[in-house]
Structure 1
């Protein structure tokens, strides 16, 4: 505090705000790193230790682990939105679809926590609905551009692209958690093989088989993927 009548600036409060913001950022980055390696079973105490801050500091920035996960989800939404907008900026709609699928799958393949969040295994209704409202229209647009150009099967929708990513996340999880073959160093890239098999199946210039089940709507997709905590 400054003395009455003093013209000295009170720097204590700005310093506290700066420290609080820095600690919050440390916790978000530490949470992303720890959840990526261990999944969402890691606790807020674990994250605090990983960030190098006190447990009390962690709980001042985030009331519980779910609040931290929501903050990480917001950061991931920003990154995925950037990927989608890059895909939509591609002159060739098929190249845009491939860019989106490759980058999104690559991000999820190395991040257990994001894979769990993406498949709805840990997020509250409000934050997950925000993800749907923010990203689903862009995914739909990626699919629509490729359909309208005649490159994507006419019966494939944006929600189909989402479920392909869910399937690839499962492949990536098996590759991360399974016993590694001694003569292979590329199992972390196994999902990429199946991505390209699936991409070939999405092309309109093939002779497609009729699909036995219609696609889900956006709302139905996110209802199915979301589980209540």
Structure 2
């Protein structure tokens, strides 16, 4: 037992080194990263990478789950904000900025595996964001007809702009996000059309993936 503890510690350190290297490489270059490149960047043997993460998708899933955990913490922080409207806008900006800063994560999020793995995290985060939205409405900071699914569409919409404009106008997402966030503020007149149902939302965000 005594000899196994250092081995477990070494294995844990190697795993973190692999994930840190993969996170940087995927963020910079997208999903077209090989195990050999990750091993070189992490300064470990390629066999170490394969043992922990047999496929590139396994690596992406591990990184994606880390990001989901971070989004959950950001949602909790936003809910605790004294100003709910500002908390909601800051939370959405943080989520979109995470997407914009990580090319590989954004590419992975457009795939079916991300949708299947996001279910449990979304179930935990959605009520928090819903409560934050309700508080902002009570303060008169958000249009009363805006729904939680309307809010959830904002990172999806801005994410599409980010993916298409990244190599043309890298910072365009900030402008588009500001326009979208301003659209949440109370205004004269009502929003056109009916709000999305959960089934419609799932179909919309799954199209083209």
In 2 relative to 1, CA 95–124 (structure 1 residues): closer, same or farther, beyond 3 Å? closer
- Which residue matches 1:184? none
Say which of 102, 110, 113 aligns to 2:104: 113
- Which residue matches 2:205? 225
Say which of 185, 190, 203 aligns to 2:172: 190
Counterpart-to-counterpart distance in 2, 1:134 and 1:190: 30
- Which residue matches 2:163? 173
Say which of 23, 26, 50 aligns to 1:35: 26
Counterpart-to-counterpart distance in 1, 2:205 and 2:63: 18
Question: Are residue 140 (structure 1) and residue 130 (structure 2) matched?
Answer: yes
Counterpart-to-counterpart distance in 2, 1:130 and 1:36: 24
- Which residue matches 1:212? 193
In 2 relative to 1, CA 122–69 (structure 1 residues): closer, same or farther, beyond 3 Å? farther
Across the two proteins, how many residue pairs are aligned to each other? 209
In 2 relative to 1, CA 188–142 (structure 1 residues): closer, same or farther, beyond 3 Å? farther
- Which residue matches 1:3? none
Counterpart-to-counterpart distance in 1, 2:111 and 2:28: 16
Q: What does the per-residue CA deviation read over 1:45-102, in whole Å, with 9 as the maximum and x for residues that have no partner?
A: 3322332222211111123222222211221112111211111111121111111112
Using the size of structure 1 for normalisation, the TM-score is 0.79
In 2 relative to 1, CA 161–80 (structure 1 residues): closer, same or farther, beyond 3 Å? same
In 2 relative to 1, CA 124–92 (structure 1 residues): closer, same or farther, beyond 3 Å? closer
Greater C-alpha radius of gyration: 1
Counterpart-to-counterpart distance in 1, 2:32 and 2:121: 22
- Which residue matches 1:91? 82
> Alignment RMSD, CA only?
2.5
Runs of 5+ in structure 1 lacking a partner?
1-9, 179-186
- Which residue matches 2:185? 203
Counterpart-to-counterpart distance in 2, 1:193 and 1:99: 15
- Which residue matches 2:121? 131
Counterpart-to-counterpart distance in 1, 2:175 and 2:149: 21
Structure ranking higher in helix proportion: 2
The answer to whether the 8 A contact 1:109-1:172 is kept is yes
Runs of 5+ in structure 2 lacking a partner?
none
